[in-house]
A = this chain, B = another copy of it.
Amino acid sequence: MSIVTHLIGMKELTTDQIERLLDRAEYWAERPGVQTDVLKGRFIANLFFEASTRTRFSFEVAQKRLGAHVLNFIPETSSTVKGETIYDTIRTLEAMGVEAAVIRTKKDGLLTELASEVSLHLINAGDGTNEHPTQCLLDLLTMRQQFGRIEGLTVAIIGDLRHSRVLGSHLHALPKLGANLLLAGPSSMMPPAQIVPDGVKKVDIDEAVQTADVVMMLRVQLERHTDALFVSKEEYHRAHGLTLERAKMMKPGAVIMHPAPVNRGVEIHSDLVECEKSLIQKQVTNGVAARMAVLETVLKGSDKTWESSLATANA
């Protein structure tokens, strides 16, 4: 069994490593609000070169529930304005005794480069259009809780797929775990053909919604679509969104997921965000559990000492 020392992407993880991370995430999901000393006195830095309060808060809750010390980097006030490279920043953190860095960056593949050069543990919180592995893990945890398995599930990922790092991670993970993956969305938003593995089918949205166990709607990255091609939010909703009508066509037992933040009325009807079929809130809750599992795994290096280290403060 190889040890997970970084979390760069789902691409690098074996099926066994993914399953073990999910098992541990489930362990934390069953212990909401529990405060532990697992990482007491250890330092983790959150380096969000691209702002995301939502993801940073999720990591920060996970870090603090594990008892770690948290350092938050604020992009506007970066020492990188003085011309320092990210490599030098990471080496500086290492020298200060920081043991892990959670990094969000606009640059595809940045963490892969860094991983060969530094000894501090790296956790990818989204690198450009490449991967967002902790989002993928929380999605997988949510599916497994709901259906008891991932193998054999049909998962439709729908919408703005072109630049999606969430899709980037699922393209590696879902096939590994034996799920059937369907893609749907406007043709201008399809992912580059070369990143889509064999066996992943492109279908129209109605077919996707009707056949999937999991209907995963992606956020339209409105900030990227400012040109004339993008007609209007209403038009997008009608043509490519999860409307009330489409939701009615879902199979019995099928669920709605979304990595959030949601554009209500664009990729998903506002009334569906918190409907009975929706697992969107559950995904957010599972995000903390999944990140606790990741942080614990990379920082403890083994699960040997897990069981004995749980100290509850407010269980």
How many copies, total?
A: 3
Residues of B within 8 A of A95 (CB): 281-282, 284-285
Are B69 and A51 within 8 A (Cβ)? Answer: no
Q: Say whether A211 faces chain B, with CB atoms less than 8 Å apart.
A: no
Residues of B within 8 A of A71 (CB): 57, 60-61
What is the CB-to-nearest-CB distance from A114 to chain B, in angstroms, rounded to a whole number? 15
User: What bracket does the count of chain A residues touching chain B fall in?
Assistant: 35 or more
Are A314 and B40 within 8 A (Cβ)? Answer: yes
Q: Say whether A16 faces chain B, with CB atoms less than 8 Å apart.
A: no
Residues of B within 8 A of A48 (CB): 77
Q: Say whether A76 faces chain B, with CB atoms less than 8 Å apart.
A: yes
Residues 12-61 of A contacting B (Cβ, < 8 Å): 32-35, 40-43, 45, 48, 51-54, 57-58, 60-61
CA distance A287 to B73 in the complex (A): 18
What is the CB-to-nearest-CB distance from A176 to chain B, in angstroms, rounded to a whole number? 27
Residues of B within 8 A of A251 (CB): none
Q: Say whether A85 faces chain B, with CB atoms less than 8 Å apart.
A: yes
Residues of B within 8 A of A72 (CB): 72
Residues 48-97 of A contacting B (Cβ, < 8 Å): 48, 51-54, 57-58, 60-61, 64-65, 69, 71-79, 81-85, 88-89, 91-97
CA distance A104 to B92 in the complex (A): 20
Are A43 and B58 within 8 A (Cβ)? Answer: no
Are A77 and B79 within 8 A (Cβ)? Answer: no
Are B77 and A54 within 8 A (Cβ)? Answer: no
Q: Say whether A103 faces chain B, with CB atoms less than 8 Å apart.
A: no
Are A83 and B261 within 8 A (Cβ)? Answer: yes
Are B69 and A64 within 8 A (Cβ)? Answer: yes
Q: Say whether A193 faces chain B, with CB atoms less than 8 Å apart.
A: no
Task: Give the residue among A61, A219, A274 with the most B Cβ atoms within 10 A.
Answer: A61
Residues of B within 8 A of A219 (CB): 82
| Residue of chain B at shortest CB distance from A220 | B83
Are B83 and A222 within 8 A (Cβ)? Answer: yes
Are B83 and A263 within 8 A (Cβ)? Answer: yes
CA distance A92 to B274 in the complex (A): 12
* Chain A contacts to B: CB under 8 angstroms: 32-35, 40-43, 45, 48, 51-54, 57-58, 60-61, 64-65, 69, 71-79, 81-85, 88-89, 91-98, 219, 222-223, 260-264, 273-274, 281-282, 284-285, 287-288, 313-314
